[in-house]
Amino acid sequence: IILRFLLNEKGRVNPDSIRYFRTSDAFPVIDNTVTPLGYPLSLKLFPILGLDEFWGSKIIGILSYFFMVYFAKKKNFYFKEIILIGGLFSFLSIFSYTMSEALILPVVFVFLYLAQKIIKEEITGSKAILYLSLILIALYNIRYPALFLMFGTGLFGVLKFRKSYSKIFIFSGLIGFFFVVAYKFLFIDYFNENYVATFLEIGLHTTSQLLIELFQGLTTVFNPFIHIANPSGGIINVGIYGIGFLNILLMIFLFIKNKLSETEFFFIFLGIIGIVCSYFIQYFYSVNPIDYRLMAPFSLGIWMVYFKKLYQIFGKLTYGITVLSLMTGFVFTWLSRGNY
């Protein structure tokens, strides 16, 4: 896995990565508010230790993955599933990418753990509200789409209003929302008063275009072997989209056939809300099309439940999916001839 990180194609950076480097280097001067400060500030630590931001981002990715494995083992929380997920080509690419998804995934994992504890009533009252609110705020300070997690958390509480834990989810979601409002007026408007006017624009894309991108995005997000289609098109994309589509159908079948626990329902519900919100925001906010990277914080919980169901049926044979995915990753790494 470490070799998969170090040999990854082209160093896994993009123009947004350079913006993170610039923001980190300029701090405490705030040069933009396009992204929260959580990821740039984490990069800021590494020049102090004698490394640059680029290699710091790779260390963050590796540490994020190892933290998830350690936390899962320590808390006996979806340990097998995290091992299976961590080896998928798409998630390894995320951990090796110089982007904030690598940092947010372990925080999402802890968030799901806390939610399980609250649903099982092992954490209750004001303590539960405090923990859940703080981690939602932490998520938002890494990536703005965490707003969808806040919305999903509150909505879950509304749907489960008869449950004793419902108020915890509702209040936590509301506290997170109030933080977002305060963040907008006290931080974003202070440093960039034209942010909303610049980025909000009604009718950016047509519904037909967005639906096609949604299908293509979801079938690559949930393709366990290849997470990026060929931009040039061709017959290979039929196979890539086809495998992803069949995998989604299998997910739906397993989730319907096997009764979901309250925790499992929350994980899947939250993931679906995140995906739906990510789709509709494209109508008026300029963002990249739905893909494996943008959906990672929302798909993580769905993958966890999916692999749990598969393992209950196939046992250790389930690891074959991850092995095949790793082999696919090594082949693409060799073909790319990447060199940092």
- At residue 204, the pLDDT reads 67
For residue range 189-229, what is the model confidence (pLDDT) as tens digits? 888 777 766 666 665 678 888 999 999 999 999 999 988 88
Strand partners, 285: 200
For 200, phi then psi, to 5°, come to -95, 125
Pairwise pLDDT comparison (41 vs 4), residue with the higher score: 41
For residue range 107-165, what is the model confidence (pLDDT) as tens digits? 999 999 999 999 999 999 999 999 999 999 999 999 999 999 999 999 999 999 999 99
- At residue 340, the pLDDT reads 44
> What is the 8-class DSSP label of residue 14?
-
User: CB–CB of 149/272 below 8 Å?
Assistant: no
Buried b (16+ CB within 10 A) or exposed e, 314-335: eeeebbebbeebbebbeebbee
Highest-confidence range of 13-27, 56-70, 134-148, 277-291, by mean pLDDT?
A: 134-148
**CA-to-CA separations, 90 to 9, 97, 154, 242, in angstroms, rounded:** 13, 10, 29, 17
- CA R_g for the chain: 20
User: CB–CB of 298/96 below 8 Å?
Assistant: no
- At residue 339, the pLDDT reads 52
Residue listed under structure tokens 């939610």: 115
For 193, phi then psi, to 5°, come to -70, -15
Angle, helices 146-159/166-183, rounded to nearest 10 degrees: 150
Phi-psi region of 123 (alpha: psi -120 to 50; beta: other; left: phi over 0): beta
Query: pTM for this one?
Result: 0.92
